[in-house]
Amino acid sequence: MPSSLFVRRYGLVCVLLLSACSTVDKPPPVDPSAQAASRQSARPSTPSARPLAGTPFADDPAKRTVYFGFGEATISHEGIETLRQNALRLKDEAQLLVTLVGHTDNQGSAAYNLAIADKRTEAVSDKLRALGVPRNQIRRLPVGSEHSSKEACDAEACWQSMRKVELIYERR
How high is the pLDDT of residue 69? 93
Pairing mode of beta strands 65-67, 96-103: unpaired
3 occurs within a structural domain: no
Count of structural domains, the chain: 1
Domain limits at 74?
66-172
**How do residues 56-101 score in pLDDT, each as one tens digit?**
787 888 999 999 999 999 999 999 999 999 999 999 999 999 999 9
pLDDT tens profile 86-141:
999 999 999 999 999 999 998 889 999 999 999 999 999 999 999 999 999 999 99
For 18-50, how does the pLDDT look when each residue is reduced to its tens digit (9 = 90+)? 444 443 433 444 444 444 444 333 444 444 445
Alpha-carbon span 169 to 145, nearest angstrom = 21
- Domain containing residue 131: CATH number: 3.30.1330.60
For the chain, give the number of residues.
172
